[in-house]
């Protein structure tokens, strides 16, 4: 505890610096969140299942060709079809969104399953949900014309999200306040160390006052010399 005492003393003296830094970080984060465009995320799911021709086994050539492919590779191929620019462009045209930017489409395979999760993010929740469903429809049409062994169907249609996923002012403000306090504490301690130019925690050495040598008293020799001259007898002229 004694090692922390110098730091606590610094924080008592420079609490205003810590408070200003935290307040600045909080205000800046809230300002950015206020002007940031909300982003919404819509989800749709699709399931891949064996087709009727594959289940019946009548077409042996088809069965043999499909058996050479792994089920995971087929599901991954369907997901990449949903991610393709041609499918996304066709979906945008069907919704009269051609040329409008700001929407991202991403299809991924749910691990250890035959389910494809399609996510569309954008500034409008209704349009994001409509685009997710449109991408799924265009992908199903394309896959049915190209592949007959495995079908793809809608598992869960996308609905308009009620709340945006970004920005999140409450979470961002809490993080900014915490980081602002940390930076403020570091600034307070750093400014104290730079101002003292001493290793932190060390006491300045006591400087003994300089001792000026006392001057010796000056003696006036003139009166003594005059007395000596007065007491000295003069030589006699009769000698």
- pLDDT for 4: 78
- Report the b/e string of 153-177 with b at 16+ CB within 10 A: eeeeebeebeebeebeeeebbeebe
Contacts of 144 (CB under 8 A, 6+ apart): 151, 152
CA distance 194 to 56: 82
pLDDT at 216 over 90: no
- 38-156 adopts what CATH topology? Alpha-Beta Plaits (3.30.70)
What residue segments make up the domains of the chain, in order of their start? 5-34+167-196, 38-156
Most confident residue range from 45-59, 93-107, 206-220, 224-238: 93-107
What is the value of pTM for the model shown? 0.63
Specify whether the CB–CB gap between 47 and 115 falls below 8 A: yes
């Amino acid at each position: 505890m004694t090692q922390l005492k110098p730091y606590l003393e610094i924080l008592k003296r420079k609490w205003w610096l810590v408070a200003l830094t935290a307040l600045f970080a909080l205000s800046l984060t809230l300002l950015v969140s206020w002007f940031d465009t909300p982003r919404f995320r819509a989800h749709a799911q699709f399931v891949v299942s064996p087709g009727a021709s594959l289940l019946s086994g009548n077409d042996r050539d088809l069965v043999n060709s499909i058996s050479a492919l792994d089920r995971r590779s087929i599901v991954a191929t369907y997901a990449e079809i949903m991610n393709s620019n041609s499918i996304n462009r066709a979906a945008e045209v069907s919704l009269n969104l051609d040329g409008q930017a700001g929407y991202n489409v991403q299809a991924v395979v749910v691990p250890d399953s035959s389910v494809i999760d399609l996510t569309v993010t954008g500034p409008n929740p209704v349009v994001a949900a409509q685009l997710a469903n449109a991408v799924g429809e265009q992908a199903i049409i394309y896959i049915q014309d190209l592949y007959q062994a495995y079908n793809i169907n809608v598992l869960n249609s996308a609905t308009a999200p009620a709340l945006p996923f970004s920005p999140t002012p409450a979470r961002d403000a809490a993080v900014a306040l915490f980081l602002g306090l940390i930076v403020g504490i570091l600034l307070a301690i750093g400014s104290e160390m730079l101002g003292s130019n001493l290793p932190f925690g060390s006491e300045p050495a006591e400087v003994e006052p300089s001792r000026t040598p006392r001057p010796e008293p000056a003696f006036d020799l003139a009166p003594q010399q005059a007395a000596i001259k007065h007491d000295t007898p003069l030589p006699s002229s009769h000698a």
